[in-house]
Structure 1
Amino acid sequence: MTTIPAKIALGTWAWGDTPEGQVFGNYLTADDLKPVVTAAMAAGFNLWDTAYAYGSGESESKLGELLQDYPRDSYQLSTKFTPQMAAGDSDHEVADMLEGSLKRLHTDTIDIYWIHNPADVEKWTPQLIPLVQSGKIKRVGVSNHNLAQIKRANEILGEAGIQISAVQNHFSLLYRSSEEAGIIDYCKQHDITFFGYMVLEQGLLTGRYNVDNPLPAGSMRASVYNEVLPQVTALNDGLKAIGAKQDASAAEVATAYALAKGVTPIVGVTKAKYMPSETKALALKLSDSDINRLEELATAANVNTKGSWEAPMA
């Protein structure tokens, strides 16, 4: 397996949806998702991003089951410690949550292990050190951290000769807070891979949804995004127009935009038919005028897509 970072990671947040708790509005079984894994691995997309928080282990369990058909060195695993889900009664809670993830994913090592949010940088960051030293974690990442918190985590890890190698924050045309706060530049300067989640805003920037065809009723994403569909009409039209010049979809252009910004997109995948789009997005070349036009349309949309779990980056 190559050690070169993947240019696109595959997100499995939606895989954690259960019949009782719908974030995306589409409960999927391992059988439903098997064609996705087959198509992704065949196309060379082998970095899978998950978390215990995605359905309290549901996403990890499905992913771990489906990847058993492949040699461990043919794919990379990214999962997370979520402070708010720690049991609260152990001095080794990061290690405890990691052990559960290792079992569900049927592996003895995680390629990138993240602190999911900066609930307590001083408390949780040091607990990563022995896990790296033991070989259970290959790379350390922090998610939803602002620049000061990233730097502080790096200082703590640096005392043991370890460096953050990945940052994962919300990034899209509609939410560029990490760019504005200087986080992406910091990552470039320090050889840190910046991963952007929600680059398509859970489907809002795919061109598939509009006022007449809203996001699935009853889902969390519908409650957040359906009311702003009129505001993003022009942006989605712009994505389609730019894509038409290269026979590309709105989603492919939105993904290519993130790539052009130096971001490694984490793209949620639930259907095998969408895998060729990721290959197409990698090949797209957006001009400076394309990028400027998209940013103008995004600003004009005047939509705040900051998640309820996110703190401001600046």
Structure 2
Amino acid sequence: MTNTSAKLALGTWAWGDTPDGQVFGNHLTTADLRPVVQTAMAAGFTLWDTAYAYGAGASEDKLGELLQDYPRDDYQLSTKFTPQMAAGDSDHEVADMLAGSLQRLHTDYIDIYWIHNPADVEKWTPQLIPLVQSGKIKRIGVSNHNLEQIKRADEILGEAGLHISAVQNHFSLLYRSSEKAGIIDYCKQHGLTFFGYMVLEQGLLTGRYNVDNPLPAGSMRANIYNAVLPQVAALTAGLTAIGEKQGASAAEVATAYALAKGVTPIVGVTKAKYMASETKALSLKLSATDISRLEELAAAANVNTKGSWEAPMA
């Protein structure tokens, strides 16, 4: 089995969608998702990213059930502490949320555990220290943190001889704030892995959606993205045109763009048939001309895809 986990992670945000498809417009069962896990694991994609926040544990439940078919050493788990979902009545909120995640994921340790957002760096970061020391967490990550907050979290951990090993922020052709704020360069300089989520903007950059074929009605992503489909038409056409030269899709080119920027993409997976695209994206080589062209088209689209939960990076 070829191990491709170091270059790309699989996201399970959509796995926690409600039965009415509130966020993504679909509701997936473990039966729906079993072929996804089987195909991914066979292809060497073994790093799975989830969070308690994805459906209040629903995503973790499904992932944990499906991965029981495999030895624990064959895959890596990435999940998160979300401050806004803490109960608020304990001195060990991070440990308490982690305990629930461990139970749902059927494991006694998490490979990368994240503080999901910087609601209170001073309060939450120190609570990670005993969890690393006990072996329940192997690596520490911070998500949606700006550069100052990343550095401060690392200082706090450094007092115990620990360090952040990964950063996870929104990154795509349409949203490059972490690059512009110097966060990606900082990660490269300090040996941190920069994971980018929403590299395909929840499907907007796959080329599958347009004015005549919009995103699923009634979903949160449709409410956000359908209005800007005309603005991104030239960009998706550009992604498609570049892909055609290498027998690749628009989605594969958008993922390859993130890779070319030194980003480890977290790509949401809901169907087994799309796993081949992740393998293809890893093999694509974009020229400097390709990258410049895509960035020009993205800038011309003039679309701000910053999430409502995100603070500006700079």
In 2, the alpha carbon distance for the partners of 1:248 and 1:287 equals 14
Query: Counterpart of 1:214?
Result: 214
* Aligned AA (2:178): S
Q: Cα gap change, 1:3/1:135 in structure 2, threshold over 3 Å: closer, same or farther?
A: farther
In structure 1, what is the equivalent of residue 10 of structure 2?
10
TM-score, normalized by length of structure 2? 0.99
Equivalent residues in 2 for 1:1-314 (5 A)? 6-20=6-20, 22-314=22-314
Displacement of 1:19: 1.3
Structure 1 residue 21, shift from structure 2 partner: 5.8
Letter in 1 for 2:94: V
Fraction of identical pairs, as percent: 87
1:5-33 superposed Cα distances (whole Å, 9 cap, x missing partner) = 61000000000001156100100000000
Per the alignment, do residues 4 and 287 of structure 1 end up closer, same or farther by CA in structure 2, a change over 3 Å counting? closer
The amino acid that maps onto 1:267 is V
CA displacement, residues 255-312 of structure 1 (integer Å, 9 cap, x when unaligned): 0000000000000000000000000000000000000000000000000000000000
Structure 1 range deviating more: 5-14 or 298-307 = 5-14
Q: Quote the Cα distance in structure 2 between the aligned partners of 1:151 and 1:292.
A: 31
Structure 2: which 5+ residue stretches go unaligned?
A: none
Q: Secondary structure at the match of 1:164?
A: coil
CA distance in 2, matches of 1:21, 1:240: 28
Equivalenced residue count is 314
Amino acid in structure 2 at the alignment position of 1:121:
V
* C-alpha displacement of 1:2: 10
Q: Is the 8 A contact 2:206 2:250 kept in 1?
A: yes
**Structure 1 unaligned blocks of 5 or more:** none
SS of equivalent residue, structure 2 residue 312: coil
> What amino acid is the match of 2:175?
Y
In structure 2, give the amino acid aligned to 1:82: T
SS of equivalent to 1:232: helix
Instruction: Tell me which amino acid in the other structure corresponds to 2:124.
Output: W
Residues 3 and 289 of structure 1: CA distance in aligned 2, closer, same or farther (over 3 Å): closer
CA distance in 1 between partners of 2:205 and 2:41 (Å): 25
> Which whole-Å CA distance do the structure 1 matches of 2:45 and 2:257 have between them?
19
Give yes or no for contact 2:5–2:45 (8 Å, CA) kept in 1: no
Q: 1:224 to 1:180 in 2, by over 3 A?
A: same
Equivalent position SS for 2:165:
strand
Following TM superposition, the consecutive aligned residue runs of length 4 or more in structure 1 with deviations greater than 4 angstroms are 1-5
CA gap of 1:252–1:46, structure 2 versus 1, over 3 A, is: same
Deviations 1:180-237 (A, max 9, x none): 0000000000000000000000000000000000000000000000000000000000
For residue 279 of structure 2, what is the amino acid of its counterpart?
Answer: T
In 1, Cα distance between equivalents of 2:256 and 2:2: 23
Residues 137 and 3 from structure 1, CA distance in 2 versus in 1: closer, same or farther, beyond 3 angstroms? Answer: farther
SS for the counterpart of 1:129 is helix
Deviations 1:11-67 (A, max 9, x none): 000000011561001000000000000000000000000000000000000000000
Give SS of 1:167's match: strand
The more displaced of 1-10 and 97-106 is: 1-10
The Cα RMSD (Å) is 1.2
The one-letter code sitting in structure 2 at the alignment partner of 1:180 is K
Counterpart residue identity of residue 277, structure 2: S
The one-letter code matched in structure 2 to 1:166 is A
TM-score, length-scaled by structure 1: 0.99
